[in-house]
Chain A
Amino acid sequence: MAKTKEMHGVKVRETRADQVFNVANLVFWLVVLFVILYPLWLILIASVSDPDAVLAGEVIWWPKGFSWMGYEAVFQYDELWGSYANSVFYTIGGSALSVVITLAAAYALSHKFAGKKFINLAITFTMFFSGGLIPIFLNVRDLGLYNTRAIMILMNLVSVWNLMVARTYIQSSIPYELYEAAIMDGSNHFTYFIKCVLPLSGTIVAVLCVYYGVARWNDYFTGLVFLRNREYYPLQTILKEILATLSVSADSDSFFAAYADNLGGLQEAMRKAEVAKYCCIVVSTVPAVILYIFMQKYFVKGVMIGSLKG
């Protein structure tokens, strides 16, 4: 514990009350960090442990009886990887489209033009009122988008919140004088947007990529409501089949059935499938977390700029 604090190069001694506060605060954060990180650690170590040890609840701090058995089973499960590929496609394709459309609209809304007030109102209104699940479903069906890959891209294409964050960012971090100068030099909105605004919007692009990308990767409901063909299913739908079962019932579930074939005996499979669940969690969550960790430098900054006047 530092007993002094620097202020303009002058060391100021902390009072007794503050020292107590600091210790209590540190303890608080250690507890919070434990509560947040331990479940993630537990998933990780259980995924590489011996199934018997996991089932007996003996895996607590470190992996026990190290084995790749769960991962081997997961890697042999073709439907999971098919859905994985689907999710990669939905996430990359959908997010790219979302980011482009959001940025273009945010740029337009950062300017003054007649009708802007009405457009703003119309867009904000959708944040607080919607037709509801069933009218949305019927609308999608009537448009012929039910049970297509396209709906996985088009649903939730633009988020009002992200649009506002991007608009605020453009307004506050790109000076209007730049626009005036560019117009003087003969550029128009299109060339100014592409040549000046985009290169200056790296931070907000990173923020939007993380927001849209993670939302799409983790989206379960869209696939649940609008898809019927198994070959279109996103990762989360298949994951749900694997994870959210109270007790493992091998006959009802293709995953466990496939697993049984690989290992011989059903009993054995049912017991060991428990570990495969942990492996599925790791395999499906790692991309989102990695994206976050790589982008986090830009994106905490960008979120803060964008949210200050949100």
Chain B
Amino acid sequence: MTPMQSRPVSRHSLGYRFQRSVRRDWQLWVLLIPALLFFLIFCYFPMYGVQIAFRDYKAAFGITGSKWVGLKHFEAFFDSYYCGRMFRNTILLNVYGLIFGFPIPILMAILLNQLNSKRFKGFTQTAIYVPHFISTVVLAGMIYLFFSPTSGIINKLITSFGGESIYFMIEEGWFRPLFIGSDIWQNAGWNTILYIATLTSIDPQLYEAATIDGATRMQKIRHIDIPHLIPIAVMMLILNCGSLLSSNTDKALLLQTSGNIKTSDIIGVYVYNTGLGKAQYSYTSAIGLCLNVINFVIIMTVNAISRKLSDISLF
């Protein structure tokens, strides 16, 4: 809570400046305190508690009293049979999700912007946000219902064209398409918001000038819309790269069946099942820590590269 990290701009000591700040702006600090307490207790306490990844956690001794074991749990994880499979599953799920899911909102925003009828545009914009308000549990339930081998509409469609019913939920090859497809269905519309906001902030004179110069809609998209969208798209890409290893754990849990476990066994699900289910706190903390560190390194690296190459960065 001290301004230790801020650059010294005056000759007074940090302590003095902090005291003066609190005396002068104490009302601002009072307004901040509830939020700060939340972050301290629910975000920074667990970061302190992550040290159990390097200890053998015993409930009787607590977090700080358990025995240090160094990197034992990390080694155990990297030596374990499922480690490679879990990493592959997690990364593939996210990489495919990014490849298929990332461009669609941009495309939708551009095309929505090109709609002539205000009413149709308004209706469309309202409608494409709706799936975002459906819960993960309901989404999973919908997948089970629609893709059911006996009564699901998808299989009815397949069989009516003379095909064989597919057991979507227990075939490992279908886990990723269902996971990613439903994610796109649910969030692609919602994710257009930022891009639409960017497009509406473009000066209309640009379009008018282009029209007078005889530009077609495609040319306007190419030379006006896309250049304006690139900075925000790069920022979203960086943000997305920061979660390459952290999937929507609850959705994977809900869609996991004994049939698709070969592809649905991702790190988050394993941490939940083994950590909470079998109370292997230290071991799974180590896995979680690995995950978070890798994610953090990826986002910092991508951010730095992007800043170098294009001057676009989060911070």
Contact = CB atoms under 8 A, between A and B. Distances in A.
B137 A244 contact: yes
Contacts of A138: 46, 49, 52, 57, 63, 281
Nearest to A280: B141
A243 B3 contact: no
B28 A131 contact: no
A66 B168 CA distance: 29
A25 interface: yes
A169 interface: no
Interface string B130-148: 1101111110111011100
B266 interface: no
Interface in A281-302: 281, 284-285, 288-289, 291-293, 296, 300
B142 A281 contact: yes
Interface string A138-173: 110011000000000011011000010000000000
A2 to B, nearest CB: 6
B135 A236 contact: yes
A155 B138 contact: no
Interface stretch (B80-88, B284-292, B305-313): B284-292
Given A22-B116, A128-B299, A243-B140, A40 B43 contact: no
A134 B31 contact: no
Interface residues of B, number: 110
B232 to A, nearest CB: 9
Contact of B46 (A42, A136, A278): A136
B67 interface: no
Nearest to A222: B250
Nearest to B268: A133
Of A35, A242, A277, A281, most buried by chain B (CB within 10 Å of CB) is A281
A277 B138 contact: no
A147 to B, nearest CB: 13
A124 B233 CA distance: 20
Contact of B193 (A42, A190, A224, A300): A300
Contact of A57 (B27, B28, B152, B193): B152
Contacts of B185: 35-36, 39
A32 B27 contact: no
B34 interface: yes
A132 B267 CA distance: 12
B250 A115 contact: no
30 contacts: A2-B116, A29-B112, A33-B128, A36-B185, A105-B34, A109-B32, A113-B25, A114-B17, A114-B18, A118-B6, A131-B50, A134-B271, A135-B288, A138-B63, A142-B63, A158-B39, A190-B30, A214-B133, A225-B272, A243-B141, A243-B145, A244-B254, A245-B144, A246-B257, A274-B151, A292-B129, A292-B133, A300-B193, A304-B196, A307-B193
Interface of B: 1-7, 17-18, 20-21, 24-25, 27-32, 34-36, 38-39, 41-50, 52, 57, 62-63, 108, 111-112, 114-117, 120, 124-131, 133-138, 140-142, 144-146, 150-153, 155-156, 169-170, 185, 189, 193-194, 196-198, 200-201, 208, 211, 214, 216-218, 242, 249-250, 254, 257, 268, 271-272, 275-276, 281, 284-285, 288-289, 291-292, 295-296, 299, 315
